[in-house]
Amino acid sequence: MENLISLVNKLQRACTALGDHGEESALPTLWDSLPAIAVVGGQSSGKSSVLESVVGKDFLPRGSGIVTRRPLVLQLHRIDGDREYAEFMHLPRKRFTDFAAVRKEIADETDRETGRSKQISPVPIHLSIYSPNVVNLTLIDLPGLTKVAVEGQPDSVVQDIENMVRSYIEKPNSIILAVSPANQDLATSDAIKISREVDPKGERTFGVLTKIDLMDKGTDAVDILEGRSYRLQQPWVGVVNRSQQDINKNVDMIAARRREREYFTTTPEYKHLAPRMGSEYLAKMLSKHLEQVIKSRIPGIQSLITKTIAELETELNRLGKPIASDAGGKLYTIMEICRMFDGIYKEHLDGVRPGGEKIYHVFDNQFPVAIKRLQFDRQLSMENVRKLITEADGYQPHLIAPEQGYRRLIESCLVSIRGPAEAAVEALCSCIKYWTKVLRHVTPWPVHVYLPLLVLFSYLAILPL
């Protein structure tokens, strides 16, 4: 069963490489059908600390304001041995063993996509972490929900973040990990509020309660953790993250997990809940649940993959044979396209296909009739010819009629022909536009490929006329 999560990880990476990463679309995509755990929480809810506790490493950027500005698809792979490393999909041949460098690369890759203007982007970052200390799991870290924009961000960023989060968690195959701080009123939790809107029965929502150790003295979170205060179909899990002081002192994550276990086992209010509390339990529970969801969705995923493959094969067949990568192969393909196009075009001209008779009508009927209507007899009358030749003599008569006179005579005739000629060209353009519509259905190429060829062959076809 552990291979199921790895398989879904590969499918997610393939979807992202092909440009499918869960954006809103009129048609369902493969990404939409893949089960995923979306991590939702407000700013300062402890969302990043929960993810780092699950991984057991410091690797996420920290700071004030909106730090997470792109979705982070975090894929955890359990491996044998004692080595630990990370890989980014946009740097496929580079392994990171220093997780401080991972943090920096996440920030740098965010800036590459969004710039330094603190904008957000729906294009995800894919990060895979390989370690013997993790469980097979895939989490999608989303930007923290906020109520105000920070300096350098448009006011619309608040709604933009909510729309992005909603686009991930409203999908029926999405598992929601709603992170809320225990030292705040749960009724005001941004994560619970948006989760309730898309999953009113709480069937897909796992609640995570952070900062339990920071609650006011005399209060506890037992009612929430036992599901009495806010009921979900899935269990609530409490976690105790490292404090800011622990982070500043670089407290080891293993030590932090040990202290978390001690807190739940030694605190009287939570002793009976200790076996199902903590970040380690949370990771194992999510991994098991994700496997079950994937298993139940396999028939639908397989059906969609089969359908997608059939559609792509149909499209490939329509596009024709693949083009070779070398210059000679590309030139041969272009020549083949030209020959095929020439054959189709000649069939239109020769009458095998409709269209050629329209051009014939323009030059055999429309243009000659328009020429006959012109009053050449007046322009070529002896009186006009004599007048133009005499004017061309100037002050010195010629023995032979001067060339300038003939030029003026021809130019005056050409001015008369201009109108019918332009009308013939317009009629020919109408024929080409008609053929453009026809060729959309008889050629496998897009319009920017065959339209220049159409104009070229039209020109070559007219030359003999």
| Percentage of residues in the chain having pLDDT higher than 90 | 18
Say what the pLDDT of residue 106 is: 92
Q: What is the 3-state secondary structure (H, E, C) of the chain?
A: CHHHHHHHHHHHHHHHHCCCCCCCCCCCCHHHHCCEEEEEEECCCCHHHHHHHHHCCCCCCCCCCCCCCCCEEEEEEECCCCCCEEEECCEEEEEECCHHHHHHHHHHHHHHHHCCCCCCCCCCEEEEEEECCCCCEEEEECCCECCCCCCCCCCCHHHHHHHHHHHHHCCCCEEEEEEEECCCCHHHCHHHHHHHHHCCCCCCEEEEEECHHHCCCCCCCHHHHCCCCCCCCCCEEECCCCCHHHHHCCCCHHHHHHHHHHHHHHCHHHHHHHHHCCHHHHHHHHHHHHHHHHHHHHHHHHHHHHHHHHHHHHHHHHHCCCCCCCHHHHHHHHHHHHHHHHHHHHHHHHCCCCCHHHHHHHHHHHHHHHHHCCCHHHHCCHHHHHHHHHHHHCCCCCCCCCHHHHHHHHHHHHHHHHHHHHHHHHHHHHHHHHHHHHHHHHCCCCHHHHHHHHHHHHHHHHCCC
Q: Give the residue range(s) of CATH 3.40.50.300 domains in the chain.
A: 2-315
165-215 per-position pLDDT tens digit: 998 898 888 899 999 999 888 888 889 999 999 999 888 999 999 999 888
Over range 299-320, report the average pLDDT.
83
Say what the pLDDT of residue 436 is: 61
Say what the pLDDT of residue 88 is: 93
68-117 per-position pLDDT tens digit: 788 998 988 888 888 899 999 889 889 999 998 999 999 889 888 877 66
**pLDDT over 50 at 356, yes or no:** yes
Say what the pLDDT of residue 266 is: 93
**pLDDT over 60 at 455, yes or no:** no
Over range 130-150, report the average pLDDT.
85
**pLDDT over 90 at 413, yes or no:** no
**pLDDT over 50 at 437, yes or no:** yes
Residue 339 pLDDT level (bands cut at 50, 70, 90)? confident
**pLDDT over 90 at 340, yes or no:** no
**CATH code that applies to domain 2-315:** 3.40.50.300
- Average pLDDT of the chain, as a whole number: 80
Say what the pLDDT of residue 30 is: 67
19-42 per-position pLDDT tens digit: 655 554 434 566 667 788 999 998
Say what the pLDDT of residue 25 is: 45
246-263 per-position pLDDT tens digit: 777 777 788 888 899 999
Between 437 and 100, where is the model more confident? 100
Going by their DSSP bridges, the two strands 85-88 and 125-131 should be labelled as antiparallel
Say what the pLDDT of residue 401 is: 64
Between 221 and 243, where is the model more confident? 221
Say what the pLDDT of residue 209 is: 93
